[in-house]
Structure 1
């Protein structure tokens, strides 16, 4: 199973990008013969930055698959351009769901933020037990019309059937991204919610992912993450917290 599985379980909202099986069945079955597939289910509990929102929990499907150089990982899918023992370069597309429902909080009433599809490049470099990753994504459907980048460093620990991957990283968001998710337009302003236009930001985060193999097929996994908001985000009238947190646990079956 790929470590890209961690990309799913550190996500705080659920949803899957749909795929279209348009290949001839004989070709598809031949394609699957060299594939690696894992399916499972988990439960995520998270608390976001938005003012007045409660801690929420929901089930999350956990699906990863490799078909040659094509892969699916949770809400993401993509193509691996290059892969060696030390380096991997992917083109990635991923679905980003709506950040909130207006009924979550009075502070969000009347705000309209849509889901979108994002695309970008992701590179991972591995040296022994250490991993360095960098990725950059842009909005493909002109919803937030922004971009963001992620850079992280982690260390892999293995002991018998247990794998643990702690990471420290930085997320960099441009002003368009922040204005869409944390800004308030002139027409959205009201008493207690003034117009606000945040600038770009840098947000540090930490996460840990753990997986324990029960046998060759079944595994249990868990994760926890925390991300700290930049000042320009914290000053938004719709933001009420300095950081967001999420935890998740689940079980998966590998074919």
Structure 2
């Protein structure tokens, strides 16, 4: 078995090569949305496509952020890539599994030049997160629990997420509603939403962030054009935790997001 440092290095390298160019813009809650592979008897799946996303930023004056992104989806018995996450499957079967996870915090943070309300704020950078995830197919729904720590050392924070979703096949359609919650510790909230004493201005008081629980509601619709071609639409709304809402640089409680795209399957 590789040691923790080696595993972290491998996961980080895989993430930078495969996930960074394909990441979706991320809202406050780590969305469980992904493009599910079409049904297949193959042990692996690989697909490429293109997508668009629009996300409401929580930061005052930033508004909506729009992105045109490539989409990569890969699944095998040992390894998978979905959006901004890369998993190495360690233990389990089709019903219950444990994986090591690497995730890039695409869309987290800001630059002081992003909006007048952020002028004078230091750059808050995106982080690389490493941790683990447990996935359970309960029959009536798919349940997910995850823990991630900031491997880049920028926020030095931690996140714990819970998610529930269920697939409803309807001919060529697949409808997947979901609900999720994420706990982010005080270091995470303070880094991304706090205001240091050196950054305080009239109308922007110093603020030390506390841990927060944010929630998400969403639904994903997929339509199979052919056995190898799929289009998808994902709608979600994220409610940020109270200590994030209290930040003087945040002006939104609910953060809507829309993602749409096309995926072509190669095997």
Q: Under a length normalisation based on structure 2, what TM-score does the superposition of the two structures give? A: 0.80
**Cα distance in 1, alignment partners of residues 43 and 185 from structure 2:** 40
Q: Distance in 2 between matches of 1:40 and 1:129?
A: 30
Q: 1:125 aligns with which of 136, 140, 150?
A: 136
1:149 to 155, 160, 163: 160
Gaps of at least 5 residues in structure 2 are 1-22, 29-41
Conserved 8 A contact 2:25-2:53 = no
Match of 1:16 in 2: none
Q: 1:182 aligned to 179, 186, 193, which one? A: 193
For 1:230, the equivalent position in structure 2 comes to 241
Once the two structures are superposed, the pairs formed by residues 215-226 of structure 1 within 5 Å of their partners are 215-226=226-237
Distance 1:231 1:36 in 2: 40
Unaligned runs of 5+ in 1: 1-7, 14-32
1:109 matched to 2:119? The reply is yes
Q: Which residue of 2 aligns with 1:194?
A: 205
Q: 1:170 aligns with which of 181, 188, 213?
A: 181
1:42 to 46, 51, 54: 51
Contact 1:129 1:157 in 2 (8 A): no
Q: Does 1:99 find its partner at 2:99?
A: no
Q: Residue 67 and residue 157 in structure 1: after superposition, are their counterparts in 2 closer, same or farther (change >3 A)?
A: closer
Residue aligned with 1:214, SS: strand
Matches of 1:10 and 1:141, distance apart in 2: 19
Question: How far off is 1:129 after superposition?
Answer: 3.9
- 1:159 corresponds in structure 2 to 170
Please list the CA deviations of residues 209-253 of structure 1 after superposition, one character each: whole Å capped at 9, or x if unmatched.
Answer: 111111111000110111112221111110001121110110000
Deviation at 1:125, TM superposition (A): 0.8
Q: Aligned-pair distance for 1:9?
A: 5.5
Q: CA deviation at 1:169?
A: 1.6
CA contact (8 A) 2:88 2:99 kept: yes
After the TM superposition, list the runs of 4 or more consecutive aligned residues in structure 1 that deviate by more than 4 angstroms.
none
CA contact (8 A) 1:10 1:223 kept: no
TM-score (structure 1 length as normaliser): 0.84
